Amino acid sequence: MVIIKVVAAVTVVVIVQRLLEWISSSPRNSNAREQTRPPKPQPPPPAASPYSESSSIPNLASRPPPKDVLVIPTTAKVEEVPRPSLGRIPSVQIPAKVHETKSENKSAQLKPPPLVPLRPSSIPSKSKYVLVQKEAAPLFVIPDHLKDLFEKDIVPPVLRKAITSSTYKDYFAALLHAEDFYIKKWSNFQLNNVTLELHNAAIYKKSHQNKLLFENDVQNDKIFVAFEIGSVPERRPFLLSRDFVHLKPSGKMVEPFQGILYRVVKSSLVLADFGDDFHSQHSQNRKYDVSFSFNRVCLKRSHKAIAGSTHLFQTFLFPSRTSRVSLLSSPLVTPAYRNLNLEQRTAVNNISRLKDPPPYLIEGQLLVVTERERSNYGSKIVKGKLSPTGLVVKEAVLQIHRTSPGCRILISAPTNSTCDVFMRSLRGEISESDIFRANAAFRELDGVPYDILPFCPFEGECFTCPSLLQLQNYKVVLSTFVSSFRLYDNGIEAGHFSHIFLVDASSATEPEVMVVLANLADETTVVVVTGATGNQSCWVRSDIARRNGLKISYFERLLSNKPYNSFDPMFVAKVRQDT
C-alpha cells in the first residue's frame, strides 16, 4: 500500500513538471518573457562619414589609410593637396575645405579618397589623386598680441632687435606668424562671375617669360584653366605655385571644383590645373565664382623647425670658431675631377677633408643653369645642367662616397627640379642600391623625369619612403628642404647623416632650411651651404615679413658674420661662374 502511494506521488510530480514546461514554451509566454528582460546594449552607431553614399568619394572605413596620408579630424582646417589630372580620365571632386576650430585634435576623422591603382608596369599612368601630407606639427596659432599688431600694420618689437641666440626663436616665429596672418587675411577673397579660358600648356613652353622652365616642367597635353585676377597687390592675394583654386558655377549651390595653381603670368593671369570632373561640365559661356586657399605645409614645418632649433645655436646658427684644423690647400688631381679648374679642385678637397662643424660655405652660381638646344623640328628645348658650383658639389659628394665607406650624405635643395637635375648627374656614378630620391607624397608622378623614376619608390600614385632599415642603408639621399621632414618622420634621427649639403640655400627662407638642420643634424654633422650673392627667396607673402628679415637667407646671414665675412678659405670657397 505504501509503495502504491509513493508511485502515485512521483507520477503527479512528473505530470506537473511536464505541464510547466509546456506552458513556458508556448509563443505567447515566450514573448512575454522577452518583454520582461532588460534590453541588450546596442553598439553605438558608426561615426557619420563626411561623404554620403551618393558622394563621388567612396567610404574607406574598410581600409586603413596609407602611412604617408594624414587622417584628419573633421573640425580641422584642411587644405587638401590635389594632383591635377594630366590625362582625361574621371577624377574626384572634393570639398573645398573644412573649417578650422580649436578642437582640431578631436577623434572624428575625415578619411581621404582612394588612390587609383596603377597598371602592372614600372611606368605610372596619368591620373589625378588627392593626398594630404602627414603633418604632426602643432597648430602654431598666432598670439593675440601679435595679431593686434599685424591688424594695425605695426612691426612687432622683437623684429626690431638683432638676431641673437636669445631672440632667434621669437624673431623667426613672429615672421612666420606674419605669413600666417596674411593667409588668414585673404582667406575669404572671392571673384564673382568670372569668364574662364582654356590654354594649352605648350604656348608657355615657348614664352620668353618662362625661359627657365625645365623640359619636364610643363606637359604638352596639359590644359590650363586661365583667368585674370588683377595686378594691384593691395586688391588681391599673393598667390604661389601649389596654392589651391576653387571654381563654382555662379548662382549654383554646389561643391566647388578644386584645382592646383600652376603660376601667375605677368602678375595678373592665373593658370590652374583642374581634373576631368571640371572639364566634363564646362562650357564656354558659363561663368564662375573663384576663391583660393593656401598651402600651409611649408609654414607648419618651418614653425616646428624654429621651435626645435635650440640645439643648433652654437654649432650652426651662431658659430663662434674663428679657426679650424688646417685643410690641405694643394689639390689632388684625380680622374674624378680632372676637368675642374684650380679653385674648384681646392673647394672639393677642402670639403672632402671636413670632419665637423661649423658649416662650410660655397659662394657662386646656383646649382643648376639652363641651356637651349634645337630639336629636329627647330624649336628650342630648355634643359638643365650643373653650374661650376654644382660641379664642385657633385665631385665632393663622389669623393666622400669613394673614400669614406661609412658616410651617409643628404643633398637638399629648395626645388624638385634642382634635386632632379642633380640626381641625373649622379646616375652611373653611384649604384642604384646606394642612392634614394625622396619626394613629397603628393608630388605628381608625371612631373618626375622618366630616367630617375627607378630611384623614386611609389605605391599606387603616392611616393613612399622605404622602411627605416632601408633608409638607413642608403649612402646618398636627395630631397627638398621641406620634404626632408619625411625622413625624420620615418625614423631617421639627427646625426644619421655624416654630411648634409644645403644647396641653393640663398633661394629659401632660413626657417625652411632649418627643417633640415633642426631634424637631421647634430654637433658631429658636416654641413656645406651653397648660395649666390644677391639671390633671395621670392616666396614671402607678408609685407611685414618681407621688409623685416624673412627674405634674408641662412646663407646670406652667415656670410655677413664672422668667420665668413673675411672669406677665410678655411670657411668659405668662392667659385666663379662660367664666362
Residue 375 carries which side chain, given as an amino acid letter? S
Residue 64 has, within 13 A of its CA and on its CB side, a CA count of 3
Rounded to an integer, what distance in angstroms lies between the CA atom of residue 370 and that of residue 368?
Answer: 7
Residue range 12-20: average pLDDT? 66
> Which H or E element spans position 502?
strand 499-502
Confidence (pLDDT) at 259 = 92
Inter-residue long-range contacts of 533-536, CB under 8 Å, 24+ positions, other chains counted: 533/363, 533/506, 533/559, 535/366, 535/504, 535/506, 535/507, 536/506, 536/507
Confidence (pLDDT) at 38 = 46
Span 173-182, pLDDT tens digits: 999 999 999 9
Confidence (pLDDT) at 339 = 81
Name the average pLDDT for the chain. Answer: 77
Which pTM value belongs to this model?
Answer: 0.72
Span 547-575, pLDDT tens digits: 999 999 999 999 999 999 999 999 999 99
Residue range 46-68: average pLDDT? 37
Confidence (pLDDT) at 83 = 38
Q: Please state which of the ranges 27-36, 53-62, 529-538 shows the lowest mean pLDDT.
A: 53-62
Query: Going along 229-374, which residue ranges are E strands?
Result: 244-249, 257-265, 269-273, 287-293, 360-363, 368-374
Pairing of strands 223-228, 269-273: antiparallel
Pairing of strands 499-502, 409-413: parallel
520 pLDDT band, cuts 50/70/90, is: very high
Confidence (pLDDT) at 202 = 67
How many residues appear in the chain? 579
- Walk across the sheet containing 190-195 and list its strands: 190-195, 287-293, 244-249, 257-265, 269-273, 223-228, 197-200
Span 471-509, pLDDT tens digits: 999 999 999 999 999 999 999 999 999 999 999 999 999
Q: Is 375 exposed, middle or buried (0-12, 13-18, 19+ CB in 10 A)?
A: exposed
The residue that leads in pLDDT, 101 or 539, is 539
Rounded to an integer, what distance in angstroms lies between the CA atom of residue 38 and that of residue 40?
Answer: 6
Confidence (pLDDT) at 373 = 60
Rounded to an integer, what distance in angstroms lies between the CA atom of residue 174 and that of residue 548?
Answer: 10
Grid cell, residue 539, equals 616666396
% pLDDT > 70, the chain: 68
Sorted by sequence, the CB contacts under 8 Å of residue 250 that are 6+ apart come out as 192, 193, 286, 287, 288, 289
Residue range 25-34: average pLDDT? 45
Residue range 182-203: average pLDDT? 90
Residue range 52-56: average pLDDT? 33
DSSP string, 75-107: TS-B--EEE--SS-S------S-B---TTTTSS
% pLDDT > 90, the chain: 50
